[in-house]
Amino acid sequence: MTRTQESNVFENVVCSFCGCLCDDLAVEVDGGRITRVRRACANGRGLFTHYDPSPRRPRVNGREVDWDEAVAEAARILSASDSPLIYGLSSTATEAQRKAVELADRLGAMIDTTSSVCHGPTGLAMQAVGEPTCTLGEVRNRADLLVFWGCNPAVSHIRHFSRYSVTPKGMLTPNGRRDRTLVVVDVRPTGSTKMADLFLQVKPGSDFEVLTALRALVGGKELDAEAVGGVPLSQLRDLAERMKTCRFGVAFMGMGLTQTGGRDLNVSELFTLVAELNAHTRFTVIPMRGHGNVAGADQVVTWQSGYPFAVSYSRGYPRYGPGEFSAVDVLARGEADAALIVASDPVAHFPKAAAQQLERIPVIALDPMPSLTTEVAQVVFPTACYGVDAAGTAYRMDGVPIRLRPVLPSVRPTDEKVLGDISALVQPGMVM
């Protein structure tokens, strides 16, 4: 990021809204306020313009208190807990994520990220069959066939097509859009399917079957069916042929695969198809990670605990248990007796039984913005927003780490600072 002093315009600003981490924004600041955001999509612009950076005091049981007092109360709650849960982390920086995992280790807590309700099954598939992937610049420079499966970037990752995948001109794609074939696979027409050269409409719940059929066709087998999962065989044959004969193919996949029946099995089937295509040409896959630093949360939790999400430190060392130690499950089963929520809103997004548990147990929330979770929390820390008024690190959907730098003066404490302060005070197993 560079800053032009005269006009207070920051160039090459990174937007941390989604997993694209576009780093070409221009943000104008005047009088401590963001007055203009250029090149951002609607989602990204909101991140900068909807945030009010004015200092706010933390709250304990609805009462405004000093930061030290809130930290002490958070530490008291966590120290008194026998089964604390730390959750969220996808919209904060790796510096804070590192402190959060350290705190989990210290507390003997369970720690989980929003991956478990998003691309967690993608992680399970990667653990089962591997993952042939590449960085987004390779897509720009080489890809002549793009297959978007179960995702709708026109809404969720608005600049993906223009910046990384469909229209940019690259080394082997000098004509941009004209050098690429865009295939979209989904259960219904969407904003993304409208832009596609080919749209394969799959019957809901049939992705696994369709992927299996494609694997068979790519493998040279004949299918005795007129259609699979609502897709005519001729269309599948055509796609299989395109996949085998392209120069460099890339599949992008989203929650249409991870959060429908079959989940990780759907993703494993896609990853296996992609791996098998490498016997014919080069083919890779990139998961469309949602939140700005959810990929970083996977990385940090993995490098400190060995596992990407759903980790329990209750025995003093990390154990992995998606479905066992994932936040929805430990809340719905009533196991968690205190929760620390970082930059996430599970009260709004979790299934009812899990959300209700959050209203029964003490909750500590760190969030730059008010949310339903901060509404129910006993302790609320209105922290700084990484990439707007705090510096930190985020990982793009393809694993590329980028420095987020503030465009506004840092006034509020960061998640990293608050988590570090809590960590220094906790005395697990003791009532303070």
Kindly list the residues in this chain that would bind other proteins in the complex (CB under 8 A): 1-2, 11-12, 14, 23-24, 94, 98, 102, 105-108, 123, 126-142, 163-164, 170-171, 247-248, 275, 278, 281-282, 284, 298-299, 302-308, 313, 315-318, 320, 391, 393, 395, 399-403, 426, 428-429
Q: Minimum distance from CB of 237 to other proteins (Å)?
A: 23
Of 84 and 382, the one with the shorter C-beta distance to other proteins is 84
> In sequence order, what are the residues at sequence separation of 6 or more whose Cβ sits closer than 8 angstroms to the Cβ of residue 109?
78, 81, 83, 84, 85, 86, 103, 312, 313, 314, 340
CA quadruple 218, 134, 187, 323: dihedral sign: positive
Of 208 and 283, the one with the shorter C-beta distance to other proteins is 283
Would you call 185 helix, strand, or coil by DSSP?
Answer: strand
| Residue in the structure block whose two tokens are 């989602």 | 43
Q: Minimum distance from CB of 135 to other proteins (Å)?
A: 5
How far is 348 from 67, CA to CA, in rounded Å? 26
Instruction: Tell me the Cα Rg of the chain.
Output: 23
What is the residue type of 226?
A: E
Q: Minimum distance from CB of 308 to other proteins (Å)?
A: 5
Of 64 and 82, the one with the shorter C-beta distance to other proteins is 82
> What's the gap between Cα 319 and its chain centre?
22
Would you call 396 helix, strand, or coil by DSSP?
Answer: coil
Of 166 and 380, the one with the shorter C-beta distance to other proteins is 166
Q: Minimum distance from CB of 390 to other proteins (Å)?
A: 12
Q: Minimum distance from CB of 353 to other proteins (Å)?
A: 27
Q: Minimum distance from CB of 279 to other proteins (Å)?
A: 8
Of 1 and 327, the one with the shorter C-beta distance to other proteins is 1
How far is 336 from 82, CA to CA, in rounded Å? 8
Q: Minimum distance from CB of 29 to other proteins (Å)?
A: 18
Could you please report the per-residue DSSP string of 338-385? EEEEES--HHHHS-HHHHHHHHHS-EEEE-SS--HHHHH-SEEE----
Of 382 and 387, the one with the shorter C-beta distance to other proteins is 387
* DSSP-H helix ranges across 280-351: 294-305, 327-332, 346-349
Of 334 and 399, the one with the shorter C-beta distance to other proteins is 399
How far is 257 from 347, CA to CA, in rounded Å? 24
Of 173 and 193, the one with the shorter C-beta distance to other proteins is 173
| Residue in the structure block whose two tokens are 């055509």 | 238
Q: Minimum distance from CB of 97 to other proteins (Å)?
A: 10
How far is 410 from 296, CA to CA, in rounded Å? 22
